[in-house]
A and B are shown apart, each in its own frame.
Chain A
Amino acid sequence: MENQIDSASVRTLARALDVELPEEDVAQLVEAMRRYAEVVAALDAAELDDVEPYASLDPRVGW
């Protein structure tokens, strides 16, 4: 995953999503996206097949 995140891929993705990126942000955004990919790997690995698609925002629900 990490290897796929570079300046070119971040620029391409931003263009596709109509996100304007200041040039001065690109290098650090690549680093940020790589760190995000590391953190979110736990989500990728999780088995979520049978989990409800939404969580109630009422903290009492389910208790």
Chain B
Amino acid sequence: VSGLLDLSIAEAHRRLVDGEISSTELTQATIAQIERTESHVRAYATVTAAEALEAARVADDELSCGEARGVLHGIPVAVKDLAFTRGIPTEAGSEAMKGFVPAYDATVVTRLREGGAILVGKTTTSEFAFGQTLAGTRNAWHQDYTASGSSAGSGVVVALRSAFAAIGTDTAGSIRGPAGANGVTGLKPTFGLVSKYGVVPMSPSLDHVGVLARTAADCADALSVVAGFDPLDPLSLEVEPPDLRVPDEPDLSGMRIGLERTHLVEPGVDPVALASAEAAAHALEQLGATVVDVAVPELDLAAAAVVTIKTVESSAYHRDRLKRDWARYGQNARLILEAGLLMPGTDYARAQQARTLVKRGLRDAFERDRLDALLGPAYGPPTLEGGSGAPFTYPMRSSAVNLAGMPSITIPCGFTDTGLPLGGFDLYGRPLGEATLVRVAHAYELAHPWHERTPPIADA
């Protein structure tokens, strides 16, 4: 890996502003890294090398005139191929959108461009973000393993240093899964903090746009650029984006973190996921935090509520297109959509009631135990390629944070004996509590710098 690509976003920004490096150098190094690794992992749906180099030239001109537009100015980033990009194909991983070239940018892309970020490409997604596996895109650390989904490409390219940060979306774990599977950090912000305008929807009441990057500090820097009210998105929150600057010292004294060992654990998930969460809790205690055991039994309803709401909402969105064009949908996506069309409306209404209970249970846990964050297991190490990926077979309980709209972050926490990421652990925060999550995650990453390891093919 070029040393340039190992820089944090903050350090790359400092060097760009000071004129020690140029955006053109960073972008050339990133494109070279894509060329070196892409055939192994197929994590980019589209690479925009020529446009990126031109944007880098403009950024260099601006920076040389002292016109720094923000922390991502001149920094190469990638965007999941669900977000509209003006003049660049946006196909959502589906034959049904093959060849579609939007006439406008999604707001999240506009914010990146206005912030001077360099878009190097669009990252792969499972079809319309359905499912938690994505055939074709391979894990950054071992190409026989899944990269998870649906923001698989975003997780892989960040791990391989072929983008400094990548935009992902998360309806039921689709940022956190690929972050864990590829050993990077994934931040799903509070519902409505990042605009969804121009992003192909899956389930409008559960969809979140967020970021994946190597560290919590990098996620915070990227999120600070894309967050904020957008009048074009009716579900956008009219709030000032949180201040996400991280402290230099990893002291967590005075913080209270709840550990949920029971109701976030699902059958079929590798037991190492819970062991990783417990080890992380111990590590956070050593950094000064107080860890308390909590139980949120309402989480037992989360999977049923999420499956019902997201399936019905996505089926409603796709209904007309599916009727016209069913043969252009892959069978897995089609089965989910057909199932949604057959689900009773009463299930959907009861799922909304269950959503209230889940949200209330989480709120009560935070209030009762005076928590700053809740810690739970992630999905565990990546699995071998070739699993069924059949509808309604994957873990859903941690999607409680999608039901409640709470922020969450997945943090890398080590590797298996065979060199695969352990899958990380999850922290959940109060609504608009991103700063707290980033502070805790940053403290952990300073003490346990797993993010400094690079996948073998990144160095080949």
Contact = CB atoms under 8 A, between A and B. Distances in A.
A59 B431 contact: yes
B363 A62 contact: yes
Size bracket, chain B contacts: 35 or more
Contacts, number: 122
Contacts of A57: 191-192, 205, 235, 405
Contact of A58 (B192, B339, B350, B391): B192
Contact of A42 (B237, B300, B326): B300
B408 to A, nearest CB: 12
A59 B355 CA distance: 12
Nearest to A50: B353
A1 interface: no
Interface in A49-63: 51-55, 57-60, 62-63
B331 interface: yes
Interface in A16-58: 17, 19-22, 24-25, 28-29, 31-33, 35-36, 39-43, 46, 48, 51-55, 57-58
Nearest to A41: B304
Contacts of B304: 39-43
Contact of A32 (B335, B403, B405): B335
Given A39-B303, A40-B304, A43-B354, A59 B339 contact: no
Interface residues of A, number: 35
A29 B430 CA distance: 38
B342 A10 contact: yes
B105 interface: no
B392 interface: yes
B15 interface: no
A8 interface: no
Contact of A59 (B334, B350, B360, B404): B404
Contact of B307 (A20, A39, A52, A55): A39
A63 B352 contact: no
B31 interface: no
Contact of B301 (A14, A21, A28, A43): A43
Contacts of B301: 42-43, 46
B338 A19 contact: yes
Contacts of B303: 39, 42
B129 interface: no
A25 B307 contact: no
B333 to A, nearest CB: 11
Interface in B314-347: 323, 326-327, 331, 334-336, 338-339, 341-343, 347
Contact of B351 (A32, A43, A60): A43
Nearest to A10: B342
B17 interface: no
A35 B327 CA distance: 24
B359 A33 contact: no
Given A35-B391, A42-B300, A63 B353 contact: no
Contacts of B308: 40, 43
B342 A40 contact: no
A24 B335 CA distance: 10
A35 B390 contact: yes
A51 B366 CA distance: 20
B350 to A, nearest CB: 5
State the 6 A-B residue pairs at the shortest beta-carbon distance, nearest first: A59-B405, A59-B431, A42-B304, A35-B392, A51-B353, A55-B355
13 contacts: A14-B342, A29-B339, A32-B339, A36-B391, A42-B301, A43-B347, A51-B354, A52-B356, A53-B353, A55-B356, A57-B235, A59-B190, A62-B359
Interface of A: 10, 13-14, 17, 19-22, 24-25, 28-29, 31-33, 35-36, 39-43, 46, 48, 51-55, 57-60, 62-63
Interface of B: 190-192, 205, 235, 237, 300-301, 303-305, 307-308, 311, 323, 326-327, 331, 334-336, 338-339, 341-343, 347, 349-357, 359-360, 363, 366, 390-393, 396, 403-406, 430-432
Given A51-B357, A62-B363, 12 more contacts: A14-B338, A19-B338, A20-B323, A22-B327, A36-B311, A40-B308, A43-B350, A48-B350, A48-B354, A52-B356, A58-B192, A59-B405
